[in-house]
Amino acid sequence: MNLVFDIGNSSTKMALFNGEEIILSFRTKDVSYRKLQSIIIKYRREIKKAIISSTKPIPEFVPDLLSLNLPELIVLSANTKLPFKIDYTTPETLGTDRIAAVAGAFHCFKGGDTLIIDAGSAITFDYLCDKRFVGGNISLGINMRLKALHRYTSKLPLVFLTGKAATPGRSTDGAIEAGVIFGIVYEINEYIRTFLVEHPGANIVLTGGDAGFLKDKIAFPVTFLPDVVITGLNYILEHNAK
């Protein structure tokens, strides 16, 4: 079995894979020594490999525990052996969650041209073209936009999502929620439209914490893959074992 860690800005997802099948997964705000130790003790004989992707500093006990108890550990970086090439001028600054998401899409669509939209704390648009990760763009996520409007103005309130955004907004709260939600939807739609003009028949993947909220608001068919990052991490781990 493989143990996969996706340490994000707001939470950590851990998963156990048996081949390509997810047999256990959970999300937690913080990784605890006790929780990780309990998983290792329970599955020590079955887990053969582990991989970590992190958008922030990794707690020291995580690689220490894994290295001491498992035969193989990979801490993902742009230097890790990957099934695709990275065309990025600053690979050392490239988020490993983005690498993993591209790997997941590469695996799911056998290297076909794909736009991967990850709607999390930030929204990333990553381009897989001709079996190469050619780069992408980064934008503000939903909560980041709501907080920024409040923080950087004198009078605008901090608004929380109601899920009832309508345009035009008929109150200040409604105008803020509608402006953020419809602004993001229009942004996503235009990214997709442009990508499909340049790459007809390409795949569009939507993932991330806000993807479930956004997927039915997008004007184009998308493939909703909430597990694309951990799937990509497992694929990278197996690719390195070959």
Residue 130 has φ and ψ, to the nearest 5°, of 50, 40
* Residue 97: active-site member: yes
Separation between Cα atoms, residue 90 and residue 95, nearest integer Å:
11
Ordered DSSP codes for 14-78 = EEEEETTEEEEEEEESS--HHHHHHHHHHHTTT--EEEEEESSPPPTHHHHHHHHHSSEEEE--T
The one catalytic residue among 6, 97, 118, 126: 97
What angle is formed at CA 182 by the lines to CA 177 and CA 187, rounded to 5 degrees? 135
Four-residue CA torsion sign, 23, 29, 31, 33: negative
Residues catalogued as catalytic: 97
